[in-house]
Structure 1
Amino acid sequence: MVKPAEPAAAPALENAATLAADFYRADAWVPEDSLGMLFKRVMQSIALQADRRLAEHGLTHVQWVALMKLKTGHGCTVAGLARDLQTDAGAMTRSLDRLEAKGMVARVRSATDRRVVNLALTEEGERLAALVVPVLAEVFNNHLAGFSPDEWQLLLSLLRRMVRNGDALREADGADAAA
């Protein structure tokens, strides 16, 4: 899988409310054209296809996503992983208990703060996490069938812009809450 070049960053939203687009209107709402509905359908399809391929390795969706987060250095505590996966700490703890029982994850107390329990992939966890990336590459490529390389780059660029807009909106909301 080729990593695309990062496009030049678009300017951050100065005032999200005044720069908001006017593409959607309540009086002309078409659910099938909503970004939320389309994103959700694409994500569900990607997850389903990846789940089917990874089930033969005994991995559920929550498990392979957690393994990938740990492999890439994100969410190295239960709380961090729960936050990254947008789930509660109790559910994350139960999922990690299953991963630990399967010998994929180990809990390691922090040497500097005994209250902190870090998560680490075991050798088996590393082996299984390495299986996820080729599966995701295949699933993503199947979902991009018919796209040209330029269309793929454009899609990535547009999605990154939406992420930046969302980040700016969250920052603005945080600034409003602090005031």
Structure 2
Amino acid sequence: MTSRSSSPGAGFYQPCHLVPEESVGYLMRRVMSSIRTQADAQLAAHDLTYAQWLPLFKLSLHESATVAALARDLETDPASMTRSLDRVEAKGLVVRERSTVDRRVVQLRLTPEGQRVAALVPPVLADVLNGHLSDFSHDEWQTLLGLLRRMLANGEALRQQRGTDAPAA
């Protein structure tokens, strides 16, 4: 990856002319909000909210996880994650199992019903994402993915350069 400027940032934004509607961060947040709203609308028929279907989906990709690991992965605080998991556990979709190796560790596992419900998420997400990309060509989609990955790499480089512990957004 080559730098387009010798100093951090390319100077695309100036503080005195910063307009939210032209901000990459603002636009990405609006896109994410639209994706979440559309997915929520489709998954509401299955009595799921974003705070519930996202952990279910993530758990479906792994055999088990801890609350702390899931919270880190989803960039939320453990208390919020615990509340969401309380709700899906009450619905019989997740079980908590204390580790036999370390009793302080509680593993999360999808129940068979949780696996069934989690399987509803990928088709909905694919539909919503495809809808948001409906007039993109394949090359434009790949370019967008590459640009977003590059922004993430730039953010990680800034984080390391500044020595902050916050995850790159």
User: Which runs of 4 or more aligned residues in structure 1 lie more than 6 Å from their structure 2 counterparts after TM superposition?
Assistant: none
Alpha-carbon distance in 2 for matches of 1:150, 1:139: 19
Q: How far 1:61 sits from its partner (Å)?
A: 0.6
Alpha-carbon distance in 1 for matches of 2:122, 2:71: 21
Taking structure 1 as reference, are residues 75 and 42 closer, same or farther at Cα in structure 2, changes over 3 Å only? farther
Find the partner of 2:82 among 83, 93, 99: 93
Residue identity over aligned pairs, in percent, reads 58
Of structures 1 and 2, the one scoring higher in RCO (CA 8 A, sep 6+) is: 1
TM-score after normalising by structure 1: 0.84
Taking structure 1 as reference, are residues 142 and 129 closer, same or farther at Cα in structure 2, changes over 3 Å only? same
Alpha-carbon distance in 2 for matches of 1:41, 1:24: 19
> What is the aligned length?
164
CA RMSD of aligned residues (A): 2.2
Alpha-carbon distance in 2 for matches of 1:26, 1:36: 15
Alpha-carbon distance in 1 for matches of 2:119, 2:42: 14
| 2:45 maps to 1:72 | no
Could you list the runs of 5+ residues in structure 2 that have no partner in the other structure? none
Residue in 2 aligned with 1:4? Answer: none
Letter paired with 1:25: Q
Letter paired with 1:145: S
Q: How far 1:21 sits from its partner (Å)?
A: 1.4
Taking structure 1 as reference, are residues 159 and 127 closer, same or farther at Cα in structure 2, changes over 3 Å only? same
TM-score after normalising by structure 2: 0.89
